[in-house]
Amino acid sequence: MSLAADFGVTLTQHVLGNQGHHPEARGQFSALLTQIGVAGKLISAQVRRAGLIEIWGATGDTNVQGESVQKLDQIANDTFIEVLRRSGCVAVMASEEMDDVVVVEPELAGDYVVAFDPLDGSSNIDASVSIGTIFAIYPRTSPRGEASAADLLRPGREMVGAGYIVYGSSTVLTYSAGETVDSFTLDPASGEFFLTRADIQMPQRTRVLSLNECNGPYWEPWVDAFLADIKGRNDAEKRRVTSRHIGSLVADFHRNLVKGGLFLYPVDKRTGRGKLRLLYECNPLAFLAEVAGGAATDGGRAILDVPVDTLHQRSGLVIGPSEDVQLAERLYRA
């Protein structure tokens, strides 16, 4: 009896299979993705125990965003940094939790640079609501020994990989290296991520609308017109669109990617600024959305084309099926 029939494709097998499409690959990208899987398992183990070992709740610190740092945030941040540092694949990394970049010592520095949000959705931690890690991967551009923030201050279009790990009813890692978007579910018994959704295509109809409606007073006028168009698709005959909003971008995005949904977090007209961070929230998810046949915009242009000037730069975000993202852009420009 063939053993192979007894279990699915693991993350490492899938990543190595992908590597086969790149004859010039030296294996660092594959090793990096595998190590990101290791970090995801370590963080997942902590998330699953948070309430039991009292690591939810705030540490009393505040991060560069001015948000109170939850203990699990700190653990996720430290875990991601240490695993990536030891991977030998990363030269410099940026984290939502760190004011400045972390430069890896030359003897361990590798060919890639990574930006990540170690634990997105922190305000949901002590309510046991889904949270997640988001990551973006670029090839380093700096010469050996000179890695710096400049390696990361580049448009999302230059990414070579991106993904997230959502710690929800199960722990799911989704990544893309540019050809397909694939999802893996962690099997707690074996500690392996197994392929559960291959070559995900984002459904082209918006069935789910996901946003914080209470921000309505702060929206620019085009947003109300946009929402009226989408909600107007529901009539006496049929409800075509429903609403789901978790408040953890990574969980809202994963549901929308799989079921066909649109998420938006428009800029605040009082400041002209968005809330979500471009480098490690909007860009990686925009990368996945485009590979899966969807789109992402800040209203004026594709998220992946927005210049990245600072590590913690914020952006407005509309992400989901292409035709509704294009509708948002038309209304934004009108």
- From the CB of 13, what's the least distance to ligand P6P, in Å? 31
- From the CB of 142, what's the least distance to ligand P6P, in Å? 29
Comparison of 95 and 122: residue with beta carbon closer to ligand P6P: 122
Q: Are the C-beta atoms of 30 and 16 separated by less than 8 Å?
A: yes
- From the CB of 237, what's the least distance to ligand P6P, in Å? 32
Comparison of 5 and 214: residue with beta carbon closer to ligand P6P: 214
- From the CB of 8, what's the least distance to ligand P6P, in Å? 30
For the chain, the distance separating the N- and C-terminal CA atoms, rounded to the nearest angstrom, is 64
SS (H, E, C) the chain: CCHHHHCCCEHHHHHHHHHCCCCCCCCHHHHHHHHHHHHHHHHHHHHHHCCCCCCCCEEEEECCCCCEEEHHHHHHHHHHHHHHHHHCCEEEEEECCCCCCEECCCCCCCCEEEEEEEEECHHHHHHCCCEEEEEEEEECCCCCCCCCHHHCCCCHHHCCEEEEEEECCCEEEEEECCCCEEEEEEECCCCEEEEEECCCCCCCCCCEEECCHHHHHHCCHHHHHHHHHHHCCCCCCCCCCEECCCCCHHHHHHHHHHHCEEEEECCECCCCECCEEHHHHHHHHHHHHHHCCEEEECCCCEHHHCCCCCCCCEECEEEEEHHHHHHHHHHHHC
- From the CB of 215, what's the least distance to ligand P6P, in Å? 7
CA 303 vs. chain centroid, Å, equals 13
- From the CB of 20, what's the least distance to ligand P6P, in Å? 35
Comparison of 199 and 224: residue with beta carbon closer to ligand P6P: 224
Comparison of 22 and 244: residue with beta carbon closer to ligand P6P: 244
User: Dihedrals φ, ψ of 58, to 5°?
Assistant: -80, 155
- From the CB of 121, what's the least distance to ligand P6P, in Å? 5
- From the CB of 120, what's the least distance to ligand P6P, in Å? 5
Comparison of 249 and 325: residue with beta carbon closer to ligand P6P: 249
- From the CB of 281, what's the least distance to ligand P6P, in Å? 7
CA distance 310 to 264: 22
Comparison of 89 and 119: residue with beta carbon closer to ligand P6P: 119
Comparison of 90 and 276: residue with beta carbon closer to ligand P6P: 276
Query: Residue 176's closest CA among 110, 247, 257?
Result: 257
Residues that bind ligand P6P (CB under 6 A): 120-123, 212, 247-249, 275-276
Comparison of 110 and 132: residue with beta carbon closer to ligand P6P: 132
Comparison of 38 and 311: residue with beta carbon closer to ligand P6P: 311
